[in-house]
A and B are shown apart, each in its own frame.
Chain A
Amino acid sequence: MISDQLFFTGINVLLAWSVYIGLVTGSLSFAQGAFMAFGCYGAGVLTVKFGWPLLPACLVSAILSAMIAAVLGYPALRLRGVYLILVTIGITFCARVALENIDYVGGVGGFGGMRGADLNAVIVAVLIVGAFLLWFSFSPLQRICDAVREDDRVASSLAINVTFIRLLGFSAGAAIAAIAGALYGHYMNFVRPESFDVLLSIYVVLYVVLGGTNNMLGPLIGATLMTLLPEYFRVLAEWRPTVFGLAILAMLLFRPLGLLAFRLVTAHASVSAPRKSGSL
């Protein structure tokens, strides 16, 4: 069904953006599965067990997810590179196993009864998050994040609190992933802890790698292509992991910055500013 496909595309775009916003501050996170699960179960408990409407449940679970990310991130984000990848994979595993052991939300058997999310809800979410990212892309904050990503030590010598910026990116990513999770759960009506497996986190990161890590459009393109294309080409659907894996390999080799590699410039000297002409 076309609306199903568009819905999952929207969810994947949100997840890809949630990875992107962490990457902007230089942290590659494989913990997105965990935050998505938290958003899904958190919002689900609020709507199913407490009878909240979806919107406030979504927002509250996003905020809580961001707070958890901040607490986890404070020790975790001191680690870089391979170590950070390992820790974030660990977070995803822990979240899944923890949920499997909480009988209040159904344990291994799964958790059901959430409803109320439809295609329109995910479209609104994508538009809001997209608008925010666009606004962010041209702001001084984007520039500060770029500085932290490119050379954190120089950034801190320029009075930028690198730890704070990294936590900000990690938490914002967790919040967006939680919203995606909440919408996913309330669309599917029923989820299991294994729906938020580490494989999901890996796929989401690879969407971003494919699309491009330098601007907000890259993750959008990557996630959309990888979700929609298999729906229209049967070969792709059948061989999805293989085609996807080979595409990633080719991309890393020949276009390491992704399909859309450009970086948006955050400031131009205004025309009125005095300029010297001459030497060059």
Chain B
Amino acid sequence: MKQPILEVRKLQKSFGGLRALDGINLDIHEGEVVGLIGPNGAGKTALLNTVTGFYRATGGTILFQNQDITHRPMHEIGRLGIGRTFQNIRLFRRMTVLENALVAFRPFADHPLRSLIAYRERRMAIARAMHWLELLQLADKVDRIASSLSYGDARRLEIARALVGEPSLLLLDEPAAGMNENETRRLVDDIAIVRRHVRAIVLIEHDMDLIRSLSDRLVAMDYGRKIVEGASAEVLNHPEVLKAYLGTDTEETVS
């Protein structure tokens, strides 16, 4: 079997006495969409935050495309090709839609001083940003201020922004949270398109329909550990998973 893109080994993260991640192992392979499920507080977002360098791991290792990124600063991890969105949408609210997408344009982000004189690349940057904005159906809103976007549009802009950075691995943290049924259906189509442009996607989601229709594989977490891993039907009906959900918050399974 080919080497995974992302290898998480015995990863630990604790805050004071609280263990958010308790020695978790995870492999993400080329071409996969992996759904990450589990009750609130299971450590899903903590895992994403530790992989992207948002949190500093207290133990274990993270290999991304064979490189150890465990203690690398965030921007270096971004440069190596991990992109992400946030559970609570974090756009640059005072910028326009287009500017939000442009911030992620790698030649500028990597060499900010050179961007002052890189006139030819400016047109290229706009073209790249427009490409992803069109793909996510935001092309007619490019000059709007980000804070004026509807919830669904804001979510999609966050994904578009991450994609402008041309990541190989895309981490989506509850992309459908707060969306209505219509918006969620559109999102499923969007992510289906997006997956052709990145090497792998990891998806945290509570909407079980969405996760079933998108993921090739599910990983269920609880108490900072992986409890079950496998095909979605298998994982969703696994007694451990049911117990984890029923034991905490039954709402989460509904949808």
Q: Do A and B interact directly, with beta carbons closer than 8 Å?
A: yes
| Residues from 105 to 129 in A contacting B, C-beta threshold 8 Å | none
- Partner of A151 from B83, B92, B96, B106 at Cβ < 8 Å: B92
A220 CB to closest chain B CB (Å) equals 21
Pairwise interchain contact B112-A276, C-beta atoms closer than 8 A: no
Taking the complex as formed, is A168 at the interface, i.e. its CB lies under 8 A from any CB of chain B?
Answer: yes
Contacts of A158 in B (CB 8 A): 75, 78, 83, 103-104, 109, 161-162, 165
A143 at the interface (CB under 8 A from B): yes
Q: Render A223-266 as a binary contact track against B, CB cut-off 8 A, 1 for contact.
A: 00000000000000000000000000000000000000001011
A136 to B112, CA, bound (A): 11
**Which residues of chain B (40-87) have a CB below 8 Å from chain A?**
52-54, 73-75, 78-79, 83-84, 86
Contact A267 B103 (CB under 8 A): no
Give, as a whole number of angstroms, the nearest-CB distance from A174 to chain B. 17
B99–A276 touching, CB < 8 Å:
no
Contact B139 A276 (CB under 8 A): yes
Residues 130-157 (chain A) with a chain B CB within 8 angstroms: 135-136, 139-141, 143-144, 146-147, 150-151, 153-157
Task: Render A179-221 as a binary contact track against B, CB cut-off 8 A, 1 for contact.
Answer: 0000000000000000000000000000000000000000000
CB of A277 within 8 Å of the partner chain: yes
Asked if B130 and A277 sit within 8 Å, CB to CB, the answer is: no
CB contacts (< 8 Å) of B109 on chain A: these are: 144, 158-160
Helix, strand, loop or mixed for chain B's interface? helix
**What 0/1 readout, one digit per residue, does chain A (268-280) give for beta carbons within 8 Å of chain B?**
1110011111111
CA separation between A256 and B55, bound complex, in Å?
33
Q: A143-B103, A159-B165, A275-B140 are in contact. Are A154 and B123 (CB under 8 A)?
A: no
Q: Which of B131-181 contact A (CB under 8 A)?
A: 134, 137, 139-143, 161-162, 165
Given A168-B112, A276-B137, answer yes or no on A159-B99 (Cβ-Cβ < 8 Å). Answer: no
Are A269 and B113 interface neighbours, CB within 8 A? no
Contacting A157 at CB < 8 Å: which of B74, B92, B123, B125? B74
Residue B126, interface by CB 8 Å: yes
Q: Are B112 and A267 in contact (CB under 8 A)?
A: no
Give the size range of B's interface with the partner: 35 or more
| Given A162-B75, A276-B137, A278-B140, residue A265 in contact with residue B99 (CB < 8 A) | yes
Q: Mark B86-125, 1 if CB is under 8 A from A, else 0.
A: 1000101111101100111110111011011010001101
Is A74 an interface position by the 8 A CB rule?
no
**What is the CA–CA distance of A164 and B123 in the complex, to the nearest angstrom?**
25
Query: Which residues of A lie under 8 Å from residue B134 when comparing CB positions?
Result: 274, 276
CA of A161 to CA of B72, assembled, Å: 12
Which residues from chain A contact B130 at a C-beta distance below 8 Å?
A: 269, 273-274
- Nearest opposing residue in chain B for A154, CB measure: B90
Residues of A within 8 A of B26 (CB): none
Q: Which residue of chain A has the shortest Cβ distance to B106 in the bound complex?
A: A159
Q: Which of B52, B90, B115, B127 is close to A144, meaning CB atoms less than 8 Å apart?
A: B115
With A147-B95, A157-B84, A160-B78 already in contact, 17 other A-B pairs whose C-beta atoms are closer than 8 Å: A140-B125, A144-B115, A150-B95, A153-B54, A154-B86, A156-B53, A156-B78, A159-B78, A160-B109, A168-B113, A267-B98, A268-B98, A269-B130, A269-B142, A269-B143, A274-B130, A276-B134
| Chain A residues within 8 Å of B, Cβ to Cβ | 135-136, 139-141, 143-144, 146-147, 150-151, 153-162, 164-165, 168, 263, 265-270, 273-280
A/B interface sample: 30 pairs, CB < 8 A: A140-B102, A140-B115, A140-B116, A140-B122, A141-B113, A144-B109, A144-B112, A147-B95, A153-B54, A157-B75, A158-B109, A158-B161, A159-B75, A160-B103, A161-B73, A161-B75, A161-B112, A162-B75, A164-B112, A165-B112, A266-B99, A267-B102, A268-B143, A269-B126, A269-B143, A274-B139, A275-B139, A276-B139, A276-B140, A279-B137
The 3 closest A-B pairs by CB, nearest first: A159-B78, A156-B74, A140-B115
